[in-house]
Structure 1
Amino acid sequence: MAYEIEIGRGKRGRRAFSLDDIAVVPSRRTRDPELVSVSWQIDAYHFALPVLSAPMDSVVSPATAIAIGKLGGLGVLDLEGLWTRYEDPEPLLAEVAAMEDDVPTGSPATTRRMQEIYSAPIDPELVALRLKQVRDAGVVVAGALSPQRTAQLWKTVVDAGVDLFVIRGTTVSAEHVAASGADAPLNLKQFIYELEVPVVVGGAASYTAALHLMRTGAAGVLVGFGGGAAHTTRGALGIHAPMATAIADVAAARRDYLDESGGRYVHVIADGGMGRSGDVVKAVACGADAVMLGAALARATEAPGRGWHWGPEAHHPDLPRGRRVRVGTVGSLEEILLGPGTTPDGTSNLLGALRRAMATTGYSDLKEFQRVEVVVSPYQPT
């Protein structure tokens, strides 16, 4: 039962939980991990792994998108990143990775230099070229744009042969109000209706926001707001949505929309705050169909960030609310996703851990595992 806490005489707030605040409870039944399926399907596309890469320059290049696709996941290209602004972004990626910060939260000099690098215009020809590189490798092609850029570049993206279109922002709403005289905001419902490819949209962090996005016709909704390792949104804007509660709320919207629409299932994809395998386990337990990983994949030896991780919020031209963070390197993409694990802290063999958790609790597939019992058990680091 939901309950509110009195913050003061004039304000009450609902108690919300992060993934660290909950734990999965074993049941009376167990099974062999080999009998567990972690496969996932959205629209006509079937994946062996319920994993999407976060569209961030520190995580995804055309090469890593291809590698993730061949391992069974979905690599999502950031179509507003360095790969679509420069013919050869490798020197700039190396420069960002080599920058020195004089304070733990990131130095103004680093932020200014990143803003300069990302001020170069997006080249539509490079957008088409990067998507073609992935398509030619024979894996599912996915690209991400912010709502602000979608109206400008969507035709280029679709003409390039994208299979899944991702509209991703810090938060995305179905009802955006624009200032007088500004360009008309993106009409999500009309846009998705007219598009011939499935669309994943987000982030959303509440039942109501997610339900409105589902009514636009989206194939999937991203869940999350300001929870990733490279975000400072909570400190900069005072806005945050603890992931366990957010996922469970959006999963409830999915259930109610299934009844409302007469059987149309919209996939819930947890996005942010899942740096370790236990986080992935608990995200699925709360109702996620799949997870979008950033920091976890930025730790791969193949990752463009070279052991560093940052998102578009870190170089926002007016209000930066993210930073470049050191995540280190723990192994190859294959070792991080499928093992064998070489670290005991949940940063490698993420899907092996998910299989083991499902086997330990007796569930055979992801949809069943969404029904697993969870308890509120705040984590106390030792």
Structure 2
Amino acid sequence: MTDFEIGRAKRARRAYSFDDIAIVPSRRTRDPQDVSVGWGIDAYRFEIPILAAPMDSVVSPATAIEIGRLGGLGVLDLEGLWTRYENPEPLLEEIATLSPDQATRRMQRIYAEPIKPELVTARIAEIRAAGVTVAGALSPQRTQELYETVVSAGVDLFVIRGTTVSAEHVSKTTEPLNLKRFIYELDVPVIVGGASTYTAALHLMRTGAAGVLVGFGGGAASTTRAALGIHAPMATAVADVAGARRDYLDESGGRYVHVIADGGLGTSGDIVKAIATGADAVMLGSALARADEAPGRGFHWGAEAHHAELPRGHRVEVGTAGSLSQILTGPAESADGTTNLVGALRRSMATTGYSDLKEFQRVEVVVAPYQAG
């Protein structure tokens, strides 16, 4: 790959966001109803390639159940308000009414309440009772402390999600999580991330992870780029991690690790491009925070927004675009790519002549930076 000189002492490679690329139609087209958008990870099959991000503004037990019924997977944040408070609804209502200058400080205080293991068990049991696939997420820092509670409660898929997750964390003060040993000893499939480079993803795949989340600092509520100077343009990140998946498939003798794009996915066009650059599925935050049923009530925030020492995100107003059903499967009543996300993916695949997600990963892509106006 070509490096560019950005100064006499530094070279860098070019990276692309989803806005920088476009998909090229082929000579063949199909009917949208003939296109399959289903996917599976381990023993679990889903009708649509969408996971709801483990964020309090997106996933509650009720919305996790509804997303499951619609064919996707809702991932509950097991460090969120639902495992800190018996009834978090008044606090969710309060967060939605805070002024911008109050939001971060007040959220830091709200999230200072300790996590209660009995609530972790209760929330997972509530989702399981509805008969949908159960997924919960912990940060790497909390995994050692709470994973036994999570697995005992009956989670189907376990997600370890952070701003970045590595297979080799170095610390002089604490014993780091040994991902390879941890995943080997667990009885459930594990999805880990984020990762944004080929090397980082390859190391995570070698730990035995069933899936790798791709993304770093690219979400609508994240200010990681401004706070830490770190950012990973998503088109390049997904393609790099897909390359790691391909090489690990050969290295391991046929073990396939799923690539899940996580960040920079505000519209249906972004989802289409994520699959086109190599993702098997996408994890959505702000796109689903716009649902009428979303716990954030038209606002969206992640764990970085209330970090006790260095917040790297903020609560953002995303408004509402329709019900969860409308956002995922339509019908759309606007042309801005915020509703009928799955319908848009189907139509794009049909327009370019591909019948399933794995085939669509081979679609031709060109560099065509978007110009507004």
Partner Cα distance (2:215, 2:109) in 1: 28
Partner of 2:194: 203
1:220-369 residue pairs with structure 2 within 5 A? Answer: 220-369=211-360
Partner Cα distance (2:92, 2:30) in 1: 45
Partner Cα distance (1:257, 1:375) in 2: 26
1:24-63 residue pairs with structure 2 within 5 A? Answer: 24-63=23-62
Partner Cα distance (1:30, 1:347) in 2: 24
Partner Cα distance (1:380, 1:306) in 2: 32
Partner Cα distance (1:175, 1:365) in 2: 35
Partner Cα distance (2:321, 2:89) in 1: 21
Shift of residue 223, structure 1, vs aligned partner: 0.1
Once the two structures are superposed, residues 164-187 of structure 1 have per-residue CA deviations (whole angstroms, 9 ceiling, x without a partner) of 0000000000000012xx231100
Once the two structures are superposed, residues 287-308 of structure 1 have per-residue CA deviations (whole angstroms, 9 ceiling, x without a partner) of 0000000000000000000000
Give, as a single letter, the amino acid of the residue that structure 2 aligns with 1:177.
Answer: V
Partner Cα distance (2:94, 2:255) in 1: 46
Shift of residue 342, structure 1, vs aligned partner: 1.0
Q: Identify which of 178, 190, 194 aligns with 2:171.
A: 178
SS at match of 1:6: strand
Partner of 1:77: 76
Instruction: Give the TM-score normalised by structure 2.
Output: 1.00
Partner Cα distance (2:282, 2:183) in 1: 22
Partner Cα distance (2:174, 2:274) in 1: 37
Partner of 1:104: none
Partner of 2:63: 64
Partner Cα distance (1:87, 1:183) in 2: 31
Paired positions, count:
373
Q: Identify which of 131, 138, 154 aligns with 2:124.
A: 131
1:153-164 residue pairs with structure 2 within 5 A? Answer: 153-164=146-157
Partner Cα distance (1:325, 1:20) in 2: 21
Shift of residue 110, structure 1, vs aligned partner: 1.7
Once the two structures are superposed, residues 117-150 of structure 1 have per-residue CA deviations (whole angstroms, 9 ceiling, x without a partner) of 0000000000000000000000000000000000
Partner of 1:190: 181
Partner Cα distance (2:334, 2:226) in 1: 31
Partner Cα distance (1:162, 1:3) in 2: 45
CA-based RMSD: 0.4
Partner Cα distance (1:145, 1:35) in 2: 38
Partner of 2:208: 217
Shift of residue 100, structure 1, vs aligned partner: 1.3
Gaps of 5+ in 1: 102-106
Give, as a single letter, the amino acid of the residue that structure 2 aligns with 1:240.
Answer: H
- Determine whether 1:11 maps to 2:7: no
Partner Cα distance (1:7, 1:342) in 2: 45
Gaps of 5+ in 2: none
Q: Identify which of 120, 145, 153 aligns with 2:113.
A: 120
SS at match of 1:119: coil
Shift of residue 8, structure 1, vs aligned partner: 0.1
Once the two structures are superposed, residues 211-268 of structure 1 have per-residue CA deviations (whole angstroms, 9 ceiling, x without a partner) of 0000000000000000000000000000000000000000000000000000000000
SS at match of 2:73: coil
Partner Cα distance (1:160, 1:7) in 2: 52
SS at match of 1:75: strand
Shift of residue 82, structure 1, vs aligned partner: 0.3
Once the two structures are superposed, residues 303-343 of structure 1 have per-residue CA deviations (whole angstroms, 9 ceiling, x without a partner) of 00000000000000000000000100010000000000111
Partner Cα distance (1:373, 1:323) in 2: 36
Partner Cα distance (2:211, 2:15) in 1: 23
Q: List, as ranges, runs of 4+ consecutive aligned residues in structure 1 with deviation greater than 3 Å.
A: none
Partner of 1:89: 88
Instruction: Give the TM-score normalised by structure 1.
Output: 0.97
